[in-house]
Structure 1
Amino acid sequence: MRILFLDLDSTSPDHLGCYGYHRNTSPNIDKIAAEGVRFNNYYTSDAPCAPSRTALMSGKFGIINGLVGHGGTAGDMKLEGRTRELMGKLSSGGAFPTYLSLAADLNTVLISPFAQRHSTFHFYAGFNEILNTGKYGNESAEHVTPVALDWIQRNADKDNWFLYINYWDPHTPYRAPAPFGNPFENDPLPEWLTEEALDNHKHMVGSHCVHELNIDFRNKSYHSRPSPNFPRQPGEIQDMSDLRRMIDGYDCGIRYMDEHIGRLFAALEDQGVMEDLIIVISADHGENMGQLGIYGEHATADQGTCRIPMIIRGPGLKQGIADEGLHYHLDLLPTVADLLGQPAYPEWNGVSYAPVLREGADCGRDYVVVSQCAHVAQRSVRFREWIYIRTYHDGFHLFDQEMLFNLAEDPHEQRNVAAEHRDLCMEAVYYLNQWHDEAMKANPDAADPLWTVMKEGGPFHARGYLPEYIKRLEATGRGHLVPELVRRHPEEFPAEPNRNAGLLQARIGARMSGN
């Protein structure tokens, strides 16, 4: 058995041709989709990068494995504790690559710098070969493809391997080299991204809104300064020209990556292994391109961030079909075990969807729960045509505590209808509580890491940013937003721990009026 897994960072299915996008961004990916199974309602359980890949490789929800954020206690997996054996669970079958090695005798190979990017070294667990492309996830495809081609030319004709390749080009900052040009300069923008939509987005606040597309990690600030090193990436979106630059930059990243993927496929053809090769194409998360008024970021537990592509093509599997069932990305692990005729690792949280691949049978879940604790603290429930989003920390976006979107009528999440459908919100909360109860039963220490994040000061990409952001809001004529931000987030002013929200608002108001 030979398996190629392509992990395409920040790739939204909304921007792939095989998922209905009007631009020709992904001809090589589309060809594989036409030969296999395309999953239309496939979700990461935990976003963004580190939580998603940790959940996938461990087969466990973030609420159980412990890693749900990008810093603090929840930036690491939970320790196994006193029951840990000589070899921990990641080395005895719990990690996906380990399982493939033990259950199917596959040589497991990783081409990725990801573990180094987020200090998630458990990501390496079970790989026999690790090729770090060395730029902490700032790679372009031209840095990844030569490493992959070298391995393919030396090894592809051997039996029994699993090759995991990580591409980064759709991740900000958009980096397709200038000679690549812009194949989309004459293509229209997505129909829904109108001047009216942009005007509505100008009233929104928080990182990666149209006014602040970039984050300065060193100075803990959100800003609109463009980088001369990345001319495809704007610093703000104030008109339709800026909006085109943003969308074109993202789409060029996908197309540039797709052309490099085509080179891999050509090399595999030359090695004579494409016919019996299982190809899996997916992503760690999607990318908001206007959903919730956010651009170029994966910062929420919503449809834009958490819905991901999943395409599987291989010998003996169904061809040219689309599955509409609800699935998690970590369902892949028991699915592969099922296809191998082996029992799944007992602690995995996934459910096999092998019947889809074998017979085209519907075996989707009734609902899925997705989480985000790195930029905001949210959990969401996707059920039928709805997504319900519950916010515990808004990441300074001033989101409502409850949001509900009808994805059949409003796929880009522009109109919150929670107030109009209290019955559906209550149904979603029931599902959320049911999921939480089951997760906590399986939790070794009975601790929910979302609340660890909250107790440690909030999501990593919001923690400590509000003081500088208040200065920016005042300087850019948006000071009217400050009192509500301060009221919601008094924890951001640790020097004044005993002051209540009203006093903080008064202080800010006095400064704004010049008193």
Structure 2
Amino acid sequence: MRILYIDIDSQRPDHLGCYGYHRNTSPAIDQIAKEGVVFERCYAPDAPCLPSRTAFYSGRFGIQTGVVGHGGTAAQPKIEGPTRQFRDHFDFKGLAGQLQRNGYHTAMISPFGQRHAAWHFYAGFNEIHNTGLGGQESAEHVQPVVDKWLADHGTKDDWYLHINYWDPHTPYRTPEDFENPFAEDPLPEWLTDEVIEDNNQKVGPHGAHEVGMYHGNENPQFPKQPGKVTDRASLRRMIDGYDMGVRYVDDQIAKIVDTLKQAGVYEDTMIVISADHGENLGELGLYGEHGTADEITCRIPFIVKYPGGAQGLRNTKFHYNLDLAPTLMDLIGGESFDLWDGESFAPAITEGADVGRDEVVISQCAHVCQRSVRWDKWLYMRTYHDGFHLFPEEMLFDLEADPHECNDLAQVHPELCREGQWRLSRWHDAQMQKMAYTSNDVVDPLWTVVREGGPFHASLTEGRPGVEGFHDYMDYLEATDRKDGADALREKYAEQIERLSK
């Protein structure tokens, strides 16, 4: 069997037609979805990019691997210690290594390992094609490599190819001659004038006044992305810029489908379309970032077309992206490991069974430090470091009534917050117990991030913006009529700043 894994960086499911989007962003993906199974509730257990992809290929939660952030100790895998052999877990017990040992030729087209110094990401691959721009490439840089690889290998048996597209990731960089097909389409209905105004008052990196993280400057190199989202015109630039990236990638997927069909191997190729994480586009006041442990950042598309498998079905149970590792082993007759945290959902794609989990726990330690739990219709969020957003310690959202997380119900339903905390504690206890038997330490890397000064993208120490940058940002908040927020942040972080300034 041939396995094609298409990894679209920052792809929200709800901006694809097969997940209900009103714009025609994804005709090729939508057609593949009709020929397979759409997973409604699949999540990256650890966000954003580096933690998610580490979890995916290791088959393990970030709390186990140690990779939960973008800088500092928690951006590197834990040392295995005296049990480490000539090779490490990422090879011996990683997904790609297992595919190799089961006779698959493994290939990757992605710069990601170099982008994040994540050399473990490449473990188990026979071929690595680094497209060379560190995540700044658009599809016109990626597609020629894809076309050549498929021309050389597409008709062979037993290959696994990972293709990484970047266009929905900021900065929005579709070519100048790629015309906007959405210029006359309405914006998402939930983004009302009231939401825009409310977001204008919020503080924190990647907010309405600072899409560029801590500033609102535009980059003339990327004219399709605004520096601020403070009115309907700039909001349209933001949404259209993102959606153009989605459509541009979809056009490349259409080419891949045509290539496989012309080669006579499309029907016999398993195709998985997914992402490393989603993207905030106004939710919780953030734009153009994947900065929270919530439905918007951590829910990802997961579409599987399997040769001879179920077609036109939707799976409604909860899943993690790392569940694909044991699933593939079930499908090809390979070995899974107790070390893995995934659960196979093979019956969902072979026969359409609605199998899966009853809850998932999701984490974020690069922009904020948060852990959250999703069950039933509820999202309970626990914040340990607010990333300069002034998030409360607890948040609760009813995602059936409020899918874009506009109404925090934590004060209304304290009993559900207690249940959410119980679910988190139960998961955490199980993880720490597993760690005690399988790891060289018993350290929760979330607390490592907090101890080292906070998440890399909102840090006063080794990350950004630092103490001086924090003061500059406070001045910027005041200059953009958000003095109350600046005063609240100064008060909240005064002790830490004083300690660092000595």
Select 2:245's aligned residue among 253, 258, 282: 253
Q: Please list, as runs of the form range in 1=range in 2, the aligned pairs for 1:261-272 lying within 5 A after superposition.
A: 261-272=253-264
Structure 1 counterpart of 2:64, which letter? I
Quote how far apart the aligned CAs of 1:208 are.
1.1
Give distance in 1, aligned partners of 2:10 and 2:35: 24
**8 Å Cα contact 1:47/1:68 also seen in 2:** yes
Superimposed CA distance per residue, residues 278-336 of structure 1 (whole angstroms, 9 cap, x where no aligned partner): 00000000001111121110000011100000000011210000011000110111111
For the residue of structure 2 that corresponds to 1:442, the secondary structure is: helix
User: Which residue does 1:180 correspond to in 2?
Assistant: 178
User: Which residue does 1:11 correspond to in 2?
Assistant: 11
Give distance in 1, aligned partners of 2:449 and 2:144: 40
Shift of the 491–125 alpha-carbon distance from structure 1 to 2, 3 Å rule, reads farther
Q: Please list, as runs of the form range in 1=range in 2, the aligned pairs for 1:159-170 lying within 5 A after superposition.
A: 159-170=157-168
Structure 2 counterpart of 1:472, which letter? Y
User: Which residue does 2:95 correspond to in 1?
Assistant: 96
**8 Å Cα contact 1:387/1:406 also seen in 2:** yes
Select 2:453's aligned residue among 447, 457, 463: 457
For the residue of structure 1 that corresponds to 2:4, the secondary structure is: strand
Quote how far apart the aligned CAs of 1:47 are.
0.2
Aligned-residue sequence identity (percent) comes to: 55
Shift of the 227–492 alpha-carbon distance from structure 1 to 2, 3 Å rule, reads farther
**8 Å Cα contact 1:47/1:372 also seen in 2:** yes
Quote how far apart the aligned CAs of 1:242 are.
0.5
User: Which residue does 1:447 correspond to in 2?
Assistant: 443
Quote how far apart the aligned CAs of 1:358 are.
2.1
Quote how far apart the aligned CAs of 1:237 are.
1.1
User: Which residue does 1:43 correspond to in 2?
Assistant: 43
Structure 2 counterpart of 1:442, which letter? K
Quote how far apart the aligned CAs of 1:357 are.
1.3
User: Which residue does 1:368 correspond to in 2?
Assistant: 360
Q: Please list, as runs of the form range in 1=range in 2, the aligned pairs for 1:98-137 lying within 5 A after superposition.
A: 98-102=97-101, 104-137=102-135
User: Which residue does 2:224 correspond to in 1?
Assistant: 232
**8 Å Cα contact 1:463/1:492 also seen in 2:** no
Quote how far apart the aligned CAs of 1:343 are.
3.1
Answer yes or no: is 1:282 the counterpart of 2:274: yes
Shift of the 448–315 alpha-carbon distance from structure 1 to 2, 3 Å rule, reads same
Answer yes or no: is 1:138 the counterpart of 2:142: no
Answer yes or no: is 1:292 the counterpart of 2:268: no
Quote how far apart the aligned CAs of 1:88 are.
1.7
For the residue of structure 2 that corresponds to 1:299, the secondary structure is: coil
For the residue of structure 1 that corresponds to 2:248, the secondary structure is: helix
For the residue of structure 1 that corresponds to 2:34, the secondary structure is: helix
**8 Å Cα contact 2:295/2:379 also seen in 1:** yes
Q: Please list, as runs of the form range in 1=range in 2, the aligned pairs for 1:292-371 lying within 5 A after superposition.
A: 292-371=284-363
Quote how far apart the aligned CAs of 1:345 are.
2.1
Give distance in 1, aligned partners of 2:406 and 2:173: 29
Give distance in 1, aligned partners of 2:194 and 2:474: 27
Give distance in 2, aligned partners of 1:12 and 1:206: 22
**8 Å Cα contact 1:457/1:491 also seen in 2:** no
Shifted more, 379-388 versus 477-486: the winner is 477-486
Shifted more, 148-157 versus 263-272: the winner is 263-272
Query: RMSD of the alignment, in Å?
Result: 1.1
Structure 2 counterpart of 1:405, which letter? F
> What TM-score, normalized to structure 2?
0.96
> What TM-score, normalized to structure 1?
0.94
Q: Please list, as runs of the form range in 1=range in 2, the aligned pairs for 1:477-488 lying within 5 A after superposition.
A: 477-488=481-492
**8 Å Cα contact 1:491/1:497 also seen in 2:** no
Which contiguous aligned blocks of 4+ residues in structure 1 show a shift greater than 6 angstroms?
A: none
Select 2:413's aligned residue among 421, 424, 427: 421
For the residue of structure 2 that corresponds to 1:109, the secondary structure is: strand
Answer yes or no: is 1:493 the counterpart of 2:497: yes
User: Which residue does 1:196 correspond to in 2?
Assistant: 194
**8 Å Cα contact 2:203/2:482 also seen in 1:** no
Give distance in 2, aligned partners of 1:496 and 1:384: 43
Give distance in 2, aligned partners of 1:418 and 1:114: 38
Give distance in 1, aligned partners of 2:349 and 2:158: 20
For the residue of structure 1 that corresponds to 2:355, the secondary structure is: coil
Answer yes or no: is 1:61 the counterpart of 2:61: yes
For the residue of structure 2 that corresponds to 1:281, the secondary structure is: strand
Give distance in 1, aligned partners of 2:429 and 2:249: 41
Quote how far apart the aligned CAs of 1:272 are.
1.1
For the residue of structure 2 that corresponds to 1:137, the secondary structure is: coil
Gaps of 5+ in 2: none
Superimposed CA distance per residue, residues 374-432 of structure 1 (whole angstroms, 9 cap, x where no aligned partner): 00000000000010110000001111110000000000000100111111111111110
**8 Å Cα contact 1:467/1:492 also seen in 2:** no
**8 Å Cα contact 1:377/1:458 also seen in 2:** yes
Structure 1 counterpart of 2:62, which letter? G
Answer yes or no: is 1:467 the counterpart of 2:466: no
Q: Please list, as runs of the form range in 1=range in 2, the aligned pairs for 1:203-218 lying within 5 A after superposition.
A: 203-215=201-213
Answer yes or no: is 1:80 the counterpart of 2:80: yes
User: Which residue does 1:21 correspond to in 2?
Assistant: 21
